């Protein structure tokens, strides 16, 4: 058993004995990771925090139901993603539009003068436009660096499907960022470095 999993299980055993300190330690281990995934799913920081809070609340109230044969991270990510998917479903049903959102965050292009961080901004925007199933697979695998097997368990789909979705997401993102990536490649090879005239 790897260290992270062992620590999680040790904390969870203490949580099952109603030790709130252990629960808080668990919260600190996961809250940022969860907020990042859910924020990128919903594109709303406040909503993401609310859902993460709800996730931990469910972990606490159902702490006795936890099955130690699974990774704790799998359980927590599954709860969080299910809440996020429910929220997205609700949004599809009742479309809310805010005047502040009229700029379409996902389509905002970064200032080209931003340099290397511009690529990061563009990637954020491109991820925002990915279809849900590709987005969640990419976020769990490439951003959260979870193993394929765990992503498959969290999403409840076969391993091959996860690999295919991640591959598809990477291909879509690659196409979306191609011009900027090409610039970056040219710069890294030195072919576009401006030559100062003597």
Partner 1 sequence: MRCRKAHWYLSARCDGTLSERQRIRLEAHLASCEECRREAFYFSEIGSLATRMESHSTQPDFNLRLRAAVRRADEAAAHPVSWQSRLAALLLRPSLVAASIVVLGIGGLGAWSMMKGAGAPEASNSPASSEVSAQYGLRVGYNTTTVKPSGELIPITGNDEETQKLRKRYLEAGRLPHDYVLGGEPVSDPDDDSSAMQFVMPTVSSDQVAKKVSY
Contact footprint for partner 1 (CB under 8 A): 20, 23-24, 27-28, 31-32, 35-36, 39, 45, 48-49, 52-53, 56-57, 60-61, 119-120, 123-124, 138, 142-143, 145, 148, 163, 166-167, 170-171, 173-174, 177-178, 181-182, 184-185
Q: How far is the CB of 197 from partner 1 (least distance, A)?
A: 30
**CA of 19: how far to CAs of 12, 65, 121, 157, in Å?**
9, 16, 41, 34
Nearer to partner 1, 39 or 75 (CB): 39
Nearer to partner 1, 6 or 65 (CB): 65
- Read off the DSSP letter of residue 157: S
Neighbours of 142 (CB within 10 A): 15
Nearer to partner 1, 61 or 197 (CB): 61
Q: How far is the CB of 121 from partner 1 (least distance, A)?
A: 8
Nearer to partner 1, 35 or 83 (CB): 35
Nearer to partner 1, 115 or 120 (CB): 120
Neighbours of 106 (CB within 10 A): 13
Q: How far is the CB of 79 from partner 1 (least distance, A)?
A: 14
Would you say 80 and 55 are in contact if contact means Cβ atoms under 8 Å apart? yes
Q: Which DSSP string do the residues of 124-182 spell out, in sequence order?
A: HHHHHTS-HHHHHHHIIIIIS---HHHHHHHHTS-HHHHHHHHHHHHHHHHHHHHHHHH
Q: How far is the CB of 196 from partner 1 (least distance, A)?
A: 27
């Amino acid at each position: 058993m790897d260290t992270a999993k062992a620590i999680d299980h040790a904390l969870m055993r203490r949580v099952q004995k109603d030790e709130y300190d252990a629960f808080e330690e668990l919260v600190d281990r996961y809250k940022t990771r969860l907020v990042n995934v859910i924020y990128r799913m919903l594109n709303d920081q406040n909503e993401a925090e609310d859902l993460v809070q709800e996730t931990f609340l469910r972990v606490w109230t159902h702490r006795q139901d936890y099955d130690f044969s699974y990774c704790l991270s799998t359980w927590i990510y599954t709860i969080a993603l299910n809440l996020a998917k429910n929220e997205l479903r609700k949004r599809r049903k009742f479309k809310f539009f805010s005047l502040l959102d009229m700029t379409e965050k996902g389509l905002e292009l970064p200032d080209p003068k931003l340099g290397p961080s511009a690529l990061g901004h563009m990637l954020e925007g491109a991820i925002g436009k990915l279809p849900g199933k590709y987005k969640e697979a990419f976020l769990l695998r490439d951003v959260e660096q979870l193993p394929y097997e765990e992503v498959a368990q969290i999403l409840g789909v076969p391993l091959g499907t996860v690999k295919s979705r991640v591959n598809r997401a990477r291909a879509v993102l690659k196409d979306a960022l191609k011009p900027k990536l090409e610039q970056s490649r040219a710069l890294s090879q030195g072919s576009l470095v401006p030559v100062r005239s003597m």
